[in-house]
A and B are shown apart, each in its own frame.
Chain A
Amino acid sequence: MSADKTQPLWGMVIDLDRCTGCQACVVACKQENNVPFSSREEAAYGREISWIRVMAVTEGEFPKVKIRYMPLLCQQCDAPPCTRVCPTRATYKNPQGIVGQIYPRCIGCRYCANACPYQVKYFNWYNWSHFRWPAEMRESLNPDVSLRPKGVIEKCTFCHHRLQHAREQAAIEGRPVESTDFVPACVSSCPARAMVFGDLRDPESTVHKLAASPRAFRMLEDLGTEPKVVYLKEGEWNATTGG
């Protein structure tokens, strides 16, 4: 856990029982964070950028088949493997526990992308922002998020720009930042209300309570990465009680 106990520990809970795999979070994230879109060829190369994507794993054989949907974003590890291998300290964990990426420092070596067990760090293969977006579409770029040049790694920041805005707002009001002050774009959009965001350290917060659920698990937590994204596994219908 982060050393500075006075800061909120931002975390997310994703209830897989509610999640329908619709990918509203995926599109909301791309629109909010000026993530470029791919082409058919680029997507086929695996070069599409998607800070949050929905994994859909098909399990079983016909007729007993199940798809498990799982939104996968940076797990904002408290012990992130990616920051340790960065030769230029372009990627680092900030005092709020968010794993950041300083684009001008990044030399595009992709060590961090390879070190990440969740495969959620993305390399910019193309000069998207200069050539890809038609002039009309550039109108919808978000001024709060910088455009990434070709050759750097980019990743989910828990919509850090929204946190900055929340902190400015709290400072104006002369109070500390609270658990409910901001949510990332993915959480805000989620039509199934499957995603919850807040201060994991605050015992009154919804995320704190949900993270203690018996359904809660963290992805690949045995690696010691200490993820701050918590998943709740799907519920099951009880055939004897009918509930």
Chain B
Amino acid sequence: MEVSRRKFLQLTVVSTAGVALGDGGTQLGNVLQASEQEERVPNGVEQWLRTTCTLCPGGCGARVRLIDTRAVKLDGNPLHPVTRGGLCPVAEAALQLVYSPDRLTEPMLRVGGRGQGEWQPLSWERALQILADGLRSHRDKEGAETLLLVLGRSHGLAPELLRRFAHAYGTPEVLELTSGDPAADALWLTQGIRTTPAYDLENAHYVLSFGVPLVDGWHGPVRQMLALAEMRQATPGHRGKLVQLEARLSPTAAKADEWIPLAPGTEGALALGIAHVLVAEGFYNPAFVAERTFGFEDSTDAAGNRQPGFRSMVLEQYAPARVAQITGVSEETIRRLATEFARFGPALAIGPIGGHSNAVESALAVHALNALVGGIESVGGVLVPPVPVFPELPPVDPDPKAREGLASAQRSPGDALLPLNGRVANLAPWLERLSDVTKVLLLWDANPLFSDPEAKRCHEALEKIPLIATIAPFLDETAAFADLVLPESTFLESWDVLDSAPGLPDQLVGLTQPALAARGQAKSAGEIVLALARELGGSIGAAFPWESMEQVVRAKVDGLVRDAQGGVFPEAAAAQGNEAAATPDYESPDALWQDLLNRGGWSGRPREYGNWRRALQTRSGKYEFSSQNLRDAITAAVPREPMRALLKTFDADFTDPRLLLPHYSTPLPEDVDGFPLRLLLFRTLALGAGEHANQPFLQEIVAPHVNVQWDSWAELNPVTAASLQIADGDWIWLESPHGRIRVRAKLWPGIVPGAVALPLGQGHTAVGQYARGTGANPIALLSATRDPLSGAAVLSARVRVTRA
């Protein structure tokens, strides 16, 4: 036997250590023995492929490194004119999604009771047959409107194809889930445009962010991070300033030049306090206000009644002294912020993103600041996003049965004032209302049984629906309750196209191409729709003449060639920012196609300013401080009984004209006896709202600021904790009138006293081995309280904290 020098060393170490350490010595022996076994990773032919990440709407350019048929690394695409080669940690961890041992690999049919976890694997042929048979029989007997579609995401091709399917099939019931978009609601109410506003962040010099999580995942974090850096460093000798106003020291607040903590849910009051100073001191832009706004000055209506304008309302009601009392921000700070906002422009006010019952009202107040300084359609201001590059697919010709179904009115539960184009933030009441009619429910990437504050109500409604099918990559909480589970492929195995990210003023499209063969039998949602339409045949099949998703993408690209400006991402675009290249002449459509595949996407028109016809589509053709769209919505809602009760939750009577002006109302729920603390829930970049919780690399990075990995935590101000005799790291119970959870307390000065903050996304009971049982789901603490304007869930509650 040969004894190498290494082996010899090992033996001596083991023998001496064994004596000294007892049992520990044996362990050390194992350590050394194991180190002898060497493992090799098979090598192969290397190839890089450009694509687009679709994990969030950000649509960052990506490159995949392939070794033979294995993907071993994801990196940014340096040719992408916006993301310029950067990728966020979620995209970097995408291979743990693709190669997760927990992925669904074949269609499955429930065999035991619902949610019992007994499944029978099926072929696609059989699975589609079962679904198509169910659909056909219900459509023939009870009408096409008995199908309900619930879409969990709004980006990519799948929503368009699923909506197209609903249209061809004949159901008006398509619900697209959203966590609420108060800035979009504010844009609709003040400028008459139903979309998420775009922000010229790169060119702003002063940004007041009312809790917008710029660097923690909002609208694609890569662009926001680069924009922030550009705002501060692009002009030598000049530095832009970011002021973050929120109750918690979020990662964005940590990177801001100034963090101003304020009482939770009082963003609107603070914005109006700043507006008061701008108006009182004459710091606003009089030319813009006179020319482009409506409702600033008092007026008299047709009946001769005096209608207060924004000026008199804000001067009367939002003096800094009163606002300081509401928000906890000092009068002096309010005055200073107003002065800086007026003086150091281009200034931009953004947010809030929601979570409180007054979110839309707050967004109206914040957007009013932009109007006061003329920061609309201007450099460094709020812009209207570009139209998508791709034209829509050719129209569908529904058959008579479908037309009958489409003619049936969509059954809104009527408890929100501004339902945005079928996007809903409150699934439970919709499901409840539809569950009597709905016979087949098809879910795509939607997991309400984990994410909805009224999960129990959703659960009860689901029980009434005869057939539930879901398209999902994992057996999540809702899929576990379905009858038929259709395995979905990931973006590295699929074709897709992504339009400009929300909030981005540049016209872009990213192309996603499969780098890998799909795992097992998984298919993309688009492929599943194509196959299902084929199976159903008739006019439904005819609406989907494409054989594959590649053909759908090609159809889109052919439309682009005819109509679009701009061109394929230019080589070496990294340094050039947003300049779009002129369209080169391609010899054939195939040459263009090849170029798109090689470089990853198309950049169209650069951002544009001062297009008033497009930016101001209200009845007055102006920015409306006093919103006529809101007046119409209220008028339409008043006869509806559920709305009457809801309108009472406003501070003002609904006939009060001041309701149409930006105003502040106390966030709900108000104080409840015995529950003295306010709960705040937030998303993390790593886990999102829970969709990335099954990726170990992301569980490892959840919270470096409080040193937490693989867990939930509750942030408490040391002052709050001291009053409750809670020490750092203690197990605590958080109780609300609706539920309770057990987590570890983290004492941290980055949260206002009197509040407790928890991350969303942990506490799965399904999905996979890394997510299941990791941390606690704070959704359990929430009530059914909603923003009465948008219907969005309130991610806040009154709680009490006790040592566990």
Binding site for B on A (CB under 8 A): 17-18, 20-24, 26-28, 30-32, 34, 37-40, 43-44, 48, 50, 53-56, 58, 60-63, 65-67, 69, 88, 104-105, 107-108, 127, 129-130, 134-143, 145-147, 149-152, 185, 188-194, 235-238, 242-243
Q: Which of B8-32 contact A (CB under 8 A)?
A: 9-10, 13, 30-32
Interface centre among B43, B89, B221, B699 (most CB of A within 10 A): B89
Residues of A within 8 A of B226 (CB): 191-193
Q: A21-B251, A22-B685 are in contact. Are A105 and B6 (CB under 8 A)?
A: yes
**Binding stretch for chain A, among B130-138, B236-244, B578-586, B669-677:** B236-244
Minimal Cβ-Cβ distance residue in A for B262: A63
| B31 with A108: CB separation less than 8 A | yes
Give A17 to B231 CA distance when docked, in angstroms.
12
| B92 with A189: CB separation less than 8 A | yes
Minimal Cβ-Cβ distance residue in B for A40: B710
| A31 with B86: CB separation less than 8 A | no
Give A37 to B67 CA distance when docked, in angstroms.
22
Is residue B306 within 8 Å, beta carbon to beta carbon, of the partner chain?
no
Minimal Cβ-Cβ distance residue in A for B39: A147
| A24 with B41: CB separation less than 8 A | no
Is residue B696 within 8 Å, beta carbon to beta carbon, of the partner chain?
yes
Give A137 to B38 CA distance when docked, in angstroms.
18
Give A26 to B703 CA distance when docked, in angstroms.
13
Give A149 to B35 CA distance when docked, in angstroms.
5
| A243 with B31: CB separation less than 8 A | no
Is residue B394 within 8 Å, beta carbon to beta carbon, of the partner chain?
no
**Size of B's binding interface in residues, CB under 8 A:** 97
Is residue B322 within 8 Å, beta carbon to beta carbon, of the partner chain?
no
Minimal Cβ-Cβ distance residue in A for B238: A243
Q: Which of B226-262 contact A (CB under 8 A)?
A: 226, 228-229, 232-233, 237-241, 249, 251, 254-255, 257-261
Q: A24-B87, A189-B87 are in contact. Are A108 and B229 (CB under 8 A)?
A: no
| A136 with B41: CB separation less than 8 A | no
Knowing that A27-B89, A108-B31 touch, tell me 14 more A-B residue pairs with CB under 8 angstroms.
A20-B221, A31-B74, A38-B700, A43-B709, A137-B95, A140-B73, A142-B41, A143-B41, A189-B75, A191-B88, A193-B226, A235-B239, A242-B241, A243-B239
**Binding stretch for chain A, among B157-165, B629-637, B641-649, B748-756:** B748-756
A-B contact pairs, 12 of them (CB 8 A): A22-B685, A27-B701, A58-B750, A62-B749, A63-B259, A66-B254, A104-B6, A130-B37, A136-B519, A142-B73, A147-B41, A190-B86
- The residue from B74, B86, B206, B749 contacting A58, defined by CB atoms under 8 A apart: B749
Residues of A within 8 A of B225 (CB): 18, 20, 22, 191-192
Distance to closest chain A CB from B36 (angstroms): 7
Residues of A within 8 A of B215 (CB): 20, 22, 192
Q: A39-B710, A140-B70 are in contact. Are A20 and B251 (CB under 8 A)?
A: yes
Residues of A within 8 A of B696 (CB): 37-38
| A27 with B697: CB separation less than 8 A | yes
Distance to closest chain A CB from B652 (angstroms): 32
Residues of B within 8 A of A242 (CB): 205-206, 241, 340, 343-344
| B34 with A65: CB separation less than 8 A | no
Distance to closest chain B CB from A110 (angstroms): 11
| B774 with A40: CB separation less than 8 A | yes
| A56 with B704: CB separation less than 8 A | yes
| A62 with B752: CB separation less than 8 A | yes
- The residue from A55, A107, A137, A146 contacting B96, defined by CB atoms under 8 A apart: A137
Is residue B101 within 8 Å, beta carbon to beta carbon, of the partner chain?
yes
Minimal Cβ-Cβ distance residue in A for B718: A62
Residues of A within 8 A of B216 (CB): 22
| B709 with A38: CB separation less than 8 A | yes
Interface centre among A24, A48, A69, A108 (most CB of B within 10 A): A24
Distance to closest chain B CB from A30 (angstroms): 6
Give A39 to B260 CA distance when docked, in angstroms.
37
| B93 with A193: CB separation less than 8 A | no
Give A91 to B63 CA distance when docked, in angstroms.
34
| A24 with B92: CB separation less than 8 A | yes
Minimal Cβ-Cβ distance residue in B for A125: B31
Give A229 to B263 CA distance when docked, in angstroms.
41
Residues of A within 8 A of B43 (CB): 143
| A50 with B239: CB separation less than 8 A | no
- Shortest Cβ-Cβ A-B pairs, 5 listed: A191-B86, A67-B254, A40-B710, A37-B696, A242-B344
Residues of A within 8 A of B751 (CB): 62
Is residue B100 within 8 Å, beta carbon to beta carbon, of the partner chain?
yes
- The residue from B31, B89, B241, B261 contacting A24, defined by CB atoms under 8 A apart: B89
| B86 with A28: CB separation less than 8 A | no
- The residue from B39, B93, B710 contacting A31, defined by CB atoms under 8 A apart: B93
Distance to closest chain B CB from A236 (angstroms): 7
| A193 with B229: CB separation less than 8 A | yes
- The residue from B73, B96, B261 contacting A63, defined by CB atoms under 8 A apart: B261
Give A23 to B702 CA distance when docked, in angstroms.
10
Give A18 to B86 CA distance when docked, in angstroms.
13
Interface string of B51-76 (1 = CB under 8 A from A): 00000000010000001001111111
Binding site for A on B (CB under 8 A): 6, 9-10, 13, 30-32, 34-44, 60, 67, 70-76, 83-89, 91-93, 95-96, 98-101, 103, 205-206, 215-216, 221-222, 225-226, 228-229, 232-233, 237-241, 249, 251, 254-255, 257-261, 340, 343-344, 519, 685-686, 696-701, 704-705, 709-711, 717-719, 748-753, 774
Distance to closest chain A CB from B756 (angstroms): 14
Residues of A within 8 A of B83 (CB): 191
Give A43 to B228 CA distance when docked, in angstroms.
33
Give A145 to B39 CA distance when docked, in angstroms.
11
Give A161 to B685 CA distance when docked, in angstroms.
30
Q: A62-B752, A136-B100 are in contact. Are A69 and B254 (CB under 8 A)?
A: yes
| B75 with A143: CB separation less than 8 A | no
Give A112 to B462 CA distance when docked, in angstroms.
59
Interface centre among B9, B86, B257, B751 (most CB of A within 10 A): B86
Residues of A within 8 A of B705 (CB): 56, 58, 67
- The residue from B13, B41, B240 contacting A34, defined by CB atoms under 8 A apart: B41
Give A38 to B709 CA distance when docked, in angstroms.
10
Give A58 to B83 CA distance when docked, in angstroms.
29
Distance to closest chain B CB from A166 (angstroms): 14
Minimal Cβ-Cβ distance residue in B for A39: B710
Residues of B within 8 A of A37 (CB): 96, 696-697, 700
Residues of B within 8 A of A235 (CB): 232-233, 239
Give A88 to B8 CA distance when docked, in angstroms.
13
Give A87 to B91 CA distance when docked, in angstroms.
41
Q: A20-B255, A243-B238 are in contact. Are A62 and B701 (CB under 8 A)?
A: no
Distance to closest chain B CB from A178 (angstroms): 17
Give A243 to B519 CA distance when docked, in angstroms.
52
Residues of B within 8 A of A146 (CB): 38, 40-41
Minimal Cβ-Cβ distance residue in A for B214: A20
Give A151 to B9 CA distance when docked, in angstroms.
14
